[in-house]
Structure formats: structure tokens, C-alpha cells
Structure 1
């Protein structure tokens, strides 16, 4: 579904349409973490949360008690899957110059049905930041439990310790 509400009403020069990364899932995924849309660094590397100052991997390392930051990317993903954690974005395609969520235009939202088919065991959908959380009502309506979490982006300048405290909720869900 197209989300022109992200357009903000500003006139801008045409920017290329970008496409996000495929979902990281397994059939037994229990917790799905949704970001907004990959940064330029993530798109260039074809890796989720590739910007070196993004707190995603250090936070998940603490939540899962795994040395994710030291692992190669493929091992990080395998470790997430092993803990029944999936990653995707709420926006699968958009126009955006740069990496700021505020610059996202003509967004195409991800289809909840993709998750129903590929990860039928998902019980909790977590939103990484406010832009991702704008899709919360779609996931609520589909019957998922949802949780909005503080952004791991370096643009969100809260201390890592403060972000980590909120993200610990995932560990509690996975232990249940």
C-alpha cells in the first residue's frame, strides 16, 4: 500500500526509486523486528543495519547474549534465526535522497501476508523507531502483538544504555 503521508507536502527534485532488503525469517520466527527503510550504507552493503554507528547489532548482542558485533554478517543472521528473531522493514520501496526517514517519499509498505506465509509462528512485531511504528495499526489489525521501541539509528541521540533498557523486552518474550 502506498503511504503518501510520509511526503510531508514539500516539493523536491526527483530522486531514484530504491528497493529494500529481503526479510530475514525462518518458519519458526517468533519475534519480528521492523525498521523503516535501509540506510544508504545498508543498501550499499546489502546488509541490515550496516552503518557502523547504528546501535542495532550491539543492542541485539546484549539482548540475545551473543557476540553479534564480532560475527560476519551471514553468521549474525543465522544467530538471529537461531534465536527465532526476524528482521525486515515496514517500507519495501520508496524514493529517498540520503538516509533520513524524514526524506522518504512515495513509500510502498511491506505486505503483512508475506510474514503470515513465511513466518507463521510470529507472535510479536517490534518497531525500530517512530517511522517504522507508523505501520503499527496494520500489524495490530492483522492480530499481531506489537511493541514500539526506540530507534537504534545514530540520528536518534539517546544513550545506548537507555535504548537497551527498552529493547530488553525482546529477551523477556523469547524466554517465555
Structure 2
């Protein structure tokens, strides 16, 4: 699961999708058949139990707040060295339009692995209800461990 860059709140609390308004962890818990995690340790445990990895397309960028639309000076992560050389990744999912666009621009040409675009779980994507997000993220379920 690839985001663009951690939000200021996620950086503050020290884990991906750490903004309590972001619905990522509730969505992943739902597709995994688990209770939603309530703290960093429970989020980590959910990811480990169901074998999904989290990272970001970008290592650094200039960004205003959490607005992906404001991204400038993008520097991509080396996902091969950070993740693919260490874990048996079977599929790549981008959690939003910006992460997918940046993945396709910077990373897919090098890796040759296409990514599936999923809707953003950000509170800014309020037009997507939690049940609708769970349905969309259901495509990832077959890649997760029970």
C-alpha cells in the first residue's frame, strides 16, 4: 500500500495514516475481518498479521500541509531497496490519485510492476463513504493473509 507522503499529523504521531480522521485503518480492518486498531501498536499488528506493507511513493517533496495537489520538487523512494528486496510483494496498491500518478511517473518505469489505484481514505475525500471505501479496497483482500 503506497501513499504519497505522510501527512503532518502522521509524521507527528509517527506512523502511516496516523490522522484519526483518515479512514485507512478502519478500511483495512474491515477487509481483514478485524476490529479497527486504536493505536500505533495495533496498526502495526494488523499489518503484520495480514502481511501488508506500507510505504510512500515519495522520499521527499515540497508540500503545503497534507495537500497532494501542492506537491513540488518530488524525489521518489527507492522501493526496490526499501521493500521489494526484503519482502515477497505480490501486488502494489496506491491509496489515491496522486500516489498513483507519481508511482506511474517515477517508479513503475524502473520496476515494471503496475499498481492498482484505490481511492484516497483521506478526510478530504469525503464523497467516499466508509462502506464504499471498504468495497473498493476489497480488491486487495485476495493478497492478504487470513
User: What TM-score results when the alignment is normalised by the length of structure 1?
Assistant: 0.73
- Say which SS state the counterpart of residue 85 (structure 2) adopts: helix
Q: Given the alignment of the two structures, is residue 172 of structure 1 paired with residue 134 of structure 2, yes or no?
A: no
Higher normalized strand content (fraction of residues) = 1
Correspondent of 2:9 among 41, 47, 53: 41
Residue 107 (str. 1) matches residue 74 (str. 2):
yes
Residues 5-43 of structure 1: per-residue CA shift (max 9 Å, x gap): xxxxxxxxxxxxxxxxxxxxxxxxxxxx00011111011
Q: Are 2:36 and 1:68 equivalent residues in the alignment? A: yes
Query: What corresponds to 2:61 in structure 1?
Result: 94
Are residue 154 (structure 1) and residue 123 (structure 2) matched?
Answer: yes
Q: Which structure has the highest helix share of the two?
A: 2
Residue-by-residue CA offset, 1:21-69 (whole Å, 9 max, x unaligned): xxxxxxxxxxxx0001111101111111111111101100101112233
CA distance, structure 2, for counterparts of residue 42 and residue 162 of structure 1? 23
CA distance in 2, matches of 1:59, 1:82: 15
Aligned partner of residue 55 in structure 2, secondary structure? strand
SS of alignment partner, residue 86 of structure 1: coil
**Which residue in the other structure is 1:22 paired with?**
none
| Aligned counterparts of 2:75 and 2:99: Cα–Cα separation in 1 | 12
Deviation at 1:143, TM superposition (A): 3.8
Aligned equivalents of 1:129, 1:38: Cα separation in 2 = 13
CA distance in 1, matches of 2:14, 2:143: 29
- The list of structure 1 runs, each at least 4 consecutive aligned residues, that deviate by more than 3 angstroms after superposition, is none
Across the aligned residues of Structure 1 and Structure 2, the Cα RMSD in angstroms comes to 1.9
Which residue in the other structure is 1:142 paired with?
Answer: 111
